[in-house]
Chain A
């Protein structure tokens, strides 16, 4: 067992530190006060140094580095310590760019990848539909090729980043005669056009992160298809495995637990800090057991990844384990809040309130975790079938053929 990174990588860490000392925060500025220009120029320097967008070729704005999970981990740790900006998050940099690099035409890559990762183009995703959630491949939005253009009709839902999105990548049924999966294509389209209507959805927290998107003869050029006609299912499933962050979600759970501990110190029971209460200590430590389990399991998975081995069942368990931790944290936080839990968290978006009732956003958000990106019950199916080798569900097996 060796949890160190070795001398070669410690040298790499030192280089990252030297870079960061020179570049972040920008001269005579606090990190929090950095301007958009300063952040952008920092990111450019970090790309030049080989620290950001490591999987993206130089000609598309990346730093084109050999995959190196430990180097990537060290960069995350060191950037995190001084809170330096990392890659942009969102559907464009995280989903579209890798998909185009694998499947896109030269023209598509030239046009879209650099602007996606630099944030000049904001992208949203058009996958789910009202009738196609867990059973995504049953989607019904149609795309018809007419006079050199795709004409789209139908409805998407749960679209995030809709407020600022310039473009959408969407799964659309273009081959109505083909099978369920084989009839789907992956199309790119402009959001700002007469055939696209966006209606925000107000969610239980009061925020509107999601929207419904309606297509009424929405149009996009014939060559804005990624991959072949009918290959959309496969294209959408491909996510380049470059430097998977094996311990990111475990670190997030650890951070959430530290917040819970702060709440337990500030909340009161019988005039004393709640953290001094015997049952609260036991409950905190019980959650800590799960948080530590995830941390240690992530080390096991990281090791297997480094050795080019499969983590087998372990990696299938991460999403539901993280969700379970979020739910346990929310239940204990609720208990600690007492009557405050009946108050509406003020000043949306979440986290801007001074009172402990801001925790009720985490309480509701933890439910979102159990739903978004594959519900916990879908995760259980996957674990049972792929992990434990139990027989496929009869209905799902029938239309499995891609």
Chain B
């Protein structure tokens, strides 16, 4: 019985944390937040050099041969530090190619994706009559060799080298940047630490992943876990920020943190977010080792953390008073990040209904 990070996982955590503390500290996050591109190429390549982008890929394609749990450790830190830029969509795209691709596809792409030399994203959501269609069984984009249609809410599509696209029938295919008929427009997302784009295809050639339909759900499960990990890290950062402010700010001649009303708000925030780290770990562990539980655990973690993070982020703004409502206060990064984590790959109630189905209720 050992339900905690190993020494190696803690070392990974520390290394990534130290790297981001140096290369992408809060002043830099703020610059990128206000910047058009939205992320720092140097940070991206730094992550690639550290091996973070290929943690989950086999060693023969340049990966570290580790698991989703290690990626979740990284996602948590990025959530905590509100790190701008691509991550989860890139590692999901690589996971899809690793698990569903032909040998040629794997050899062509995985070494470059593991090093960060090439950047990939996933294009899954389509507009539907009753909201976004995130799930494989809902995808309608043509399953022929050429695609015509639209994918929405695609993270960091501008500048990506490769798209893993969800197809009718629940399969997956590859589309390269520069392919005929491919166009990308920026969506004005609230969260400026992870940019969203709309991708359109017109008779665009697509290279199918042979086992795409078998692994699409797995890849999305991994995405749910990584977004939940990000939300846990972000939620913890919120509580830390609100507590720190309460220990610093004085009114009526005392620290506001000595007022019971505020203490109780902060305690309730801690109750909501502190214990969820285990929920994220369990979902990652289930993905790696308990396949029959994996989908329900991922859905539960994403649904729970999606709501907890939004809730805690809102209360963090409130706990900061007027300054919390300003653009210059850092806590807005987490409020907006929480809205991304809540919505992308499906909102909490979608995943609650899925969990209910998967658990046989």
Contact = CB atoms under 8 A, between A and B. Distances in A.
Contact of A317 (B257, B270, B307): B270
Contact of A275 (B266, B271, B285, B361): B361
Nearest to B247: A390
B240 to A, nearest CB: 9
Interface string B324-361: 00000000000000000000000011011101100101
Given A3-B285, A281-B352, A317 B304 contact: no
The 6 closest A-B pairs by CB, nearest first: A296-B278, A289-B304, A285-B352, A384-B263, A297-B275, A299-B3
10 contacts: A284-B361, A289-B300, A293-B279, A296-B275, A303-B1, A304-B4, A379-B267, A381-B263, A384-B263, A393-B260
The secondary structure that dominates the B interface is: helix
A75 to B, nearest CB: 15
Contacts of B258: 390-394
Interface string B1-19: 1111000000000000000
B69 interface: yes
B304 A1 contact: no
A385 B285 CA distance: 33
Contacts of B353: 278, 281-282, 285
A6 interface: yes
A86 B195 CA distance: 57
Interface in A277-308: 278, 281-282, 284-286, 288-290, 292-300, 302-304, 306-307
A314 interface: yes
A286 B300 CA distance: 8
Given A299-B282, A390-B257, A390-B258, A321 B271 contact: yes
Contact of B355 (A288, A293, A299, A306): A288
A284 to B, nearest CB: 6
Most B CB contacts (10 A, CB to CB) among A293, A299, A389, A392 go to: A293
Interface in A305-352: 306-307, 313-314, 317, 320-321, 324
Contacts of B268: 380
Interface of A: 1-6, 70, 261, 264, 275, 278, 281-282, 284-286, 288-290, 292-300, 302-304, 306-307, 313-314, 317, 320-321, 324, 377, 379-381, 383-385, 387-394
A285 B4 contact: no
B186 interface: no
Contact of A286 (B69, B270, B288, B352): B352
Most B CB contacts (10 A, CB to CB) among A281, A294, A320, A384 go to: A384
A387 B274 CA distance: 11
Most A CB contacts (10 A, CB to CB) among B239, B254, B271 go to: B271
B277 interface: yes
A306 B1 contact: yes
A6 B351 CA distance: 34
Contacts of B193: none
A384 B266 contact: yes
B276 interface: yes
A378 to B, nearest CB: 11
B264 A377 contact: yes
Contacts of B257: 384, 390-391
Contacts of B266: 384, 388, 390
Contacts of B254: 391
A115 to B, nearest CB: 36
A390 B243 contact: yes
A313 B277 CA distance: 13
Given A289-B303, A289-B304, A324-B271, A1 B279 contact: no
A104 B288 CA distance: 51
A389 B1 contact: no
Contacts of A304: 4
A4 B243 CA distance: 37
B262 to A, nearest CB: 8
B2 A288 contact: no
Contact of B267 (A3, A288, A306, A387): A387
A307 B5 CA distance: 13
A285 B296 CA distance: 10
B255 interface: yes
Contacts of A388: 239, 243, 263, 266-267, 270
Given A2-B1, A292-B282, A390-B263, A285 B303 contact: yes
Contact of A1 (B271, B276, B285, B349): B285
A304 B307 CA distance: 28
A285 B264 CA distance: 26
Contacts of A296: 3, 275, 278-279, 281-282
Most A CB contacts (10 A, CB to CB) among B247, B254, B274, B275 go to: B275
Nearest to B358: A285
B304 A303 contact: no
Contacts of A70: 1
B352 A1 contact: no
B246 interface: yes
B356 A1 contact: no
Given A300-B277, A383-B271, A391-B257, A3 B1 contact: yes
A285 B300 contact: yes
Given A299-B282, A393-B260, A292 B271 contact: no
A391 B254 CA distance: 10
A4 B1 contact: yes
Nearest to A381: B263
A387 B270 contact: yes
A387 B266 CA distance: 11
A384 B300 CA distance: 28
Interface string B114-134: 000000000000000000000
Given A293-B276, A388-B243, A380 B264 contact: yes
A55 to B, nearest CB: 20
Interface string B62-93: 00000001000000000000000000000000
B49 to A, nearest CB: 27
